[in-house]
Amino acid sequence: MTILLITTLLFAAALVPSQALIAPLFALKVGDPFPSSALSKWGVKGKTSVLYFFGADDAPSCKKENSLFSARLSEFGVPVVGVRNAKGAKGADVAQKLVIDEDDEVREEIGIKKDLFGLLGGRETYVVDSKGTVQMVFNDQFKPEKHVELALDAVSELKASSGSSKGGFDIGELLGGLLKK
């Protein structure tokens, strides 16, 4: 029985490319440059901005995330851009800009991993400063509201510390502040 199971798994693995084989060798982290071609294409090059990657306009948690970003857009004071692939673009009525990542090119380039055994595109949010440097990264498929809160906190802190040499944000520090609220 064990040999049959191992043989079946090996056969299945040979048919389906391994995520480990096709995934990039790194994931974008605080201090890394965000791809400038994407920033240019999405109209935010040279601007502090929030870029959030999600699955589909009509998926329940994605709808919630889009609605939350839309409702709090004026609090950000910087461009907020939602990114999904063409298959996920169903037409959402939101205040922020939504763009399509053709063939998940940017998602793959920056190393956003799929969730739930590769069934769901990863939900990841970035705050990028005016130089295109990543100042915050947050990934959580099941807490869309945290993406909005943490991005808002990171943008606020970035605005408050503009001109200082401090770069990046400690997610633990930001989460601690949210937990106290």
The per-residue pLDDT for range 99-148, each reduced to its tens digit, is 999 999 999 999 898 877 766 778 999 999 999 999 999 998 889 999 99
Name the token pair of 62.
């994605």
Tokens, residue 149: 């809160």
Mean pLDDT of 14-37: 65
Q: Structure tokens of 88?
A: 């996920």
What pLDDT is stored for residue 175 in this prediction? 58
pLDDT value, residue 39 = 97
How sure is the predictor about 7, in pLDDT bands with cuts at 50, 70 and 90? very low
The CB density around residue 180, as the number of other CB atoms within 10 Å, is: 6
- Please give the model's pTM, rounded to 2 decimal places: 0.75
| Statement: residue 150 has pLDDT above 60 | yes
Fold of 22-171: Glutaredoxin (3.40.30)
Nearest residue to 144 (alpha-carbon basis) of 49, 62, 51: 62
Rounded Cα distance between 71 and 76, Å, is: 11
Which of 62, 68, 112, 158 is catalytic? The answer is 62
Summarize pLDDT for 37-85 with one digit per residue, the tens. Answer: 999 999 999 999 999 999 888 889 999 999 999 999 999 999 999 999 8
CB 98 within 8 A of CB 86: no
Told to judge if 62 belongs to the known catalytic residues of this protein, a careful annotator would answer: yes
Query: Is the confidence at residue 167, as pLDDT, over 60?
Result: no
Please report the pLDDT score of residue 168 as a whole number: 52
Count Cα neighbours of 58 within 13 Å in the Cβ-side half-sphere. Answer: 6
What confidence score (pLDDT) does residue 10 get? Answer: 43
pLDDT for res 81: 98
Would you say residue 180 has pLDDT above 80?
A: no
Burial of 147 (0-12, 13-18, 19+ CB in 10 A): buried
Q: Whose structure tokens read 């990863």?
A: 122
Alpha helices in the chain (DSSP H): 2-15, 19-22, 36-41, 60-71, 73-76, 105-110, 144-160, 171-180
The per-residue pLDDT for 172 is: 52
Is 118 within 8 Å of 13 (Cβ atoms)? no
> What value does the mean pLDDT take over residues 33-38?
96
Predicted local confidence at residue 87, as pLDDT: 86
Q: Are 129 and 48 within 8 A, CB to CB? A: yes
User: Mean pLDDT of all residues in the chain?
Assistant: 81
pLDDT of residue 5: 40
